[in-house]
């Protein structure tokens, strides 16, 4: 997708009122490539008036009517970073520090957040269509930019992984992906960083692959592109709020490798295609071994078990895998024994999207309402409640 695909009107990141109230007694997905109108669905009063259950463990960190948020990360100093991709809209601040008052401030600065004809020749110095933010175990912030506005095709020279030091707010590493790793129809979706071995692992949801990056020299490899574990499950039609996810061509949503999690010891990488009910993993040692053939690497992939369809994914120190169960308006976790446990399930969880776990044991996540965007509703946006960032304490 070139810059002309970003045909939606520029919209400011102005947001409505927000709250920091405790409610009660948390790549990577790709929703649309169409620019269309957004309107409130007057028939969706049940959702628009959704309130927290009396026993909800969730706290609203902040909320916005526009623009749409997908990713979240939390720095050691407590700052919350949000990702507002250039999909249906063209947000002024696609990467931002998010305030509890709903404010969004460009990050690391306004120049990085600018993308228009005046900077077309500098695709490595600007956020084109960022998708993911992640804070590693050393406190560094990483931004993954698939550079595919409107989800149509990558901007040549644009796909990149950028490391920023939150203490100085300065870029300290900028890794560009060649077309052999991020082809024109690719969409780099989510990223995890192994700070001990200096490697990054990325899901690619547009065509399907796992991308492995050597952070020491910036080289990257596109792997498992022909393996079924990174591709949609045949015959599966996803539903959210009971709404079948059917695109304007009448085809069911079919998205490739999306959610990703790296075990705390860095030994295993977990992932799932968005259009799938299967969780996979592989030893990272195999991913780093360039001597393995495609077939040999594929033989190392394990199917861990059956899960709800998930967008985002994360893992804790006890190897519980957290899943954003968007079909069920829920966040759940899968224990190492394979038990699925519901953390929260309520109408406010309109497409729970991406997780972030903090050092003090808080679980943050966004709700992106992808099922209510124009592409999945015959060109008319049906968003009827704010996009939100929630948090809760990690269950014991």
For every residue of 19-74, DSSP letters joined together read ---B----------S---EE---TT-HHHHT----TT---EEEEEESSS---EEEE
Q: How many CA atoms lie within 13 Å of 334's alpha carbon, on the beta-carbon side?
A: 21
Q: In the prediction, which pLDDT does 21 show?
A: 32
Q: In the prediction, which pLDDT does 2 show?
A: 34
Residues shown for the chain: 396
Compute the distance between CA of residue 227 and CA of residue 34 in angstroms, rounded to an integer. 29
* Residues 238-250 pLDDT 10s: 999 888 999 999 9
Mean pLDDT, to the nearest integer, of 296-322?
98
Q: Tell me the pLDDT band of 23, cut-offs 50, 70 and 90.
A: very low
* Residues 235-284 pLDDT 10s: 999 999 888 999 999 999 999 999 999 999 999 999 999 999 999 999 99
Mean pLDDT of the chain: 89
Compute the distance between CA of residue 342 and CA of residue 233 in angstroms, rounded to an integer. 24
- Give pTM, 2 decimals: 0.88
Stronger pLDDT, 55 or 123, i.e. the higher one = 123
**What's the angle, vertex CA 396, arms to CA 50 and CA 338, rounded to 5?**
85
| pLDDT higher than threshold 60 for residue 19 | no
Task: Provide CB contacts within 8 A for 377, sequence distance 6+.
Answer: none
Average the pLDDT over each of 26-35, 57-66, 118-127, 192-201 and give the range with the smallest value: 26-35
State the alpha helices, DSSP H only, in 217-293.
Answer: 284-288
CB 124 within 8 A of CB 175: no
State the alpha helices, DSSP H only, in the chain.
Answer: 45-48, 110-113, 284-288, 294-298
Q: Tell me the pLDDT band of 5, cut-offs 50, 70 and 90.
A: very low
Q: In the prediction, which pLDDT does 49 show?
A: 60
Q: Tell me the pLDDT band of 346, cut-offs 50, 70 and 90.
A: very high
* Residues 70-121 pLDDT 10s: 999 999 999 999 999 999 778 999 999 999 999 999 999 999 999 999 999 9
Q: What percent of the chain has pLDDT over 90?
A: 81
Mean pLDDT, to the nearest integer, of 286-297?
98
CB 144 within 8 A of CB 30: no
């Amino acid at each position: 997708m070139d810059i002309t695909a970003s045909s939606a009107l520029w919209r400011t990141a102005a947001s409505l009122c927000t709250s920091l109230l405790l409610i009660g007694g948390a790549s990577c997905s790709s929703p649309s490539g169409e620019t269309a109108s957004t309107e409130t669905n007057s028939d969706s009063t049940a959702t628009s008036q959704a309130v927290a259950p009396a026993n909800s463990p969730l706290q609203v960190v902040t909320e916005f009517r526009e623009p749409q948020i997908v990713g979240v990360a939390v720095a050691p100093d407590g700052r919350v970073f949000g990702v507002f991709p250039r999909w249906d809209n063209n947000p002024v601040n696609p990467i931002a520090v998010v305030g509890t008052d709903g404010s969004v401030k460009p990050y690391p600065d306004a120049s990085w957040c600018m993308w228009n004809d005046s900077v077309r020749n500098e695709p490595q110095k600007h956020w084109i269509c960022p998708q993911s933010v992640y804070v590693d175990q050393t406190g560094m912030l990483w931004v993954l930019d698939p550079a595919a506005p409107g989800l149509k095709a990558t901007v040549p020279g644009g796909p990149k992984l950028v490391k920023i030091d939150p203490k100085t707010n300065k870029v300290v590493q900028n890794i560009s992906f060649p077309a052999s790793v991020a082809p024109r129809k690719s969409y780099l979706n989510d990223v995890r960083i192994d700070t001990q071995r200096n490697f990054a692992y990325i899901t690619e949801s547009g065509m399907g692959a796992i991308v492995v990056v050597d952070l020491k020299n910036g080289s990257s490899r596109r792997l498992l592109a022909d393996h079924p574990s990174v591709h949609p499950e045949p015959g599966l039609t996803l539903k959210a709020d009971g709404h079948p996810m059917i695109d304007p061509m009448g085809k069911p949503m079919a998205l490739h490798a999306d959610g990703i999690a790296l075990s705390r010891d860095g030994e295993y990488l977990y992932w799932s295609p968005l259009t799938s009910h299967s969780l996979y993993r592989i030893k990272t040692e195999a991913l780093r071994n360039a001597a393995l053939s495609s077939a040999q690497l594929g033989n190392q992939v394990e199917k861990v078990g059956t899960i709800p369809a998930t967008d985002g994914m994360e893992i804790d120190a006890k190897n519980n895998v957290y899943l954003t169960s968007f079909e069920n308006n829920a966040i759940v976790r899968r224990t190492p024994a394979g038990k699925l446990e519901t953390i929260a399930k309520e109408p406010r969880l309109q497409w729970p999207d991406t997780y972030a776990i903090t050092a003090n044991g808080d679980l943050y996540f966004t709700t992106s309402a992808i099922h209510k965007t124009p592409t999945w509703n015959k060109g008319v946006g049906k968003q009827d409640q704010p996009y939100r960032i929630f948090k809760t304490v990690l269950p014991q």
